[in-house]
Amino acid sequence: MMTDELGSLLEWFDLKDELRTGWELRNVDSPESVAAHTWGTAALCLLYADQEDVDRQKAVTMALIHDLGEARTGDIATRAEDGRQTIPTSEKETAERSAVTDLVGPFNDSELLSLWEEYEARDTPTAQFVKDMDLVDNCLQALKYERQNRYDEAETTDHFTEFENLDEFFATAAPRFQTEFGQDLFKQIKSEYESEIGRPCQL
C-alpha cells in the first residue's frame, strides 16, 4: 500500500512534466518544465544570495518550493495584455496554498509551508530577492529561446496579439522587480535580447 509520503513525492515529481504555459502559448519548441524553471531560480539564488546579503540556504529552499502548488494546479501564466489573465490572482493563490499545504503535509515540515507563505507575501528581503530571481530566470530563458530560434516569429498565435517576438515575458517582469540587484540583471538581459531582435523591447 502506498504511503502518504510516497504519494506526495509522486505529485512533487509532476513538476518535471508540467510544461511552462507561457512558452507553450508562444509555440516554443520543446519548452521547459516548471521543475526546470524551479532549478533555474534556485541556481540564481545559490549564485547571488551572498551579494544581496540574504541567507543562501533559505533562499534556495524557498526557490525550490515557490511553484510547488503547480504540481496540482498546473502553470497559470502571468499575462501583460489586458484581458489575457485566465483567473484572478487571488483565486490562483488560494488554489496553490491548498495544494502546497497538502503536498508538504506528509513530511511534517512546517518550515516548508512557512517559507512558501513568506514567498507569497513578499514582505521580507529574502522573499523579494527570490521573486526577483524567479523573474530573472524567465527573462534569461526568453533570451535563450530567442538566440536558439526556438519558435517561428512569423507564425500567428491568437495568444500574442500585442507583443512581438518574446517581448511579453519582459513586459510582465519589468514592473515587478523589488530589488536594485534584480533590476540591474533584468536590464543586462533585456539589452542582450534587444541586440538579438534588433529593436527596443516593448514594455
Spans of all domains in the chain: 4-197
Contacts of 115 (CB under 8 A, 6+ apart): 58, 61, 62, 65
Q: Is 198 left (phi over 0), alpha (psi -120 to 50) or beta?
A: left
Q: What is the pTM of this model?
A: 0.92
Give me the torsion for CA of 75, 84, 31, 20, rounded to 10°.
-10
CATH classification for the domain delimited by 4-197, as one of 1.10.3210.10, 3.40.1390.10, 1.20.120.530, 2.40.40.20: 1.10.3210.10
Which residue, chain included where needed, has cell 534588433?
198
Each of the 203 residues of the chain gets a pLDDT tens digit; together they read 679 999 999 999 999 999 999 999 999 999 999 999 999 999 999 999 999 999 999 999 999 999 999 999 999 876 545 555 567 777 888 999 999 999 999 999 999 999 999 999 999 999 999 999 999 999 999 999 999 999 998 887 777 778 899 999 999 999 999 999 999 999 999 999 999 999 999 99
Give the count of alpha carbons within 13 A of 201, CB side only.
25
Write out the H or E segment, with its range, that includes residue 145: helix 125-147
Contacts of 123 (CB under 8 A, 6+ apart): none
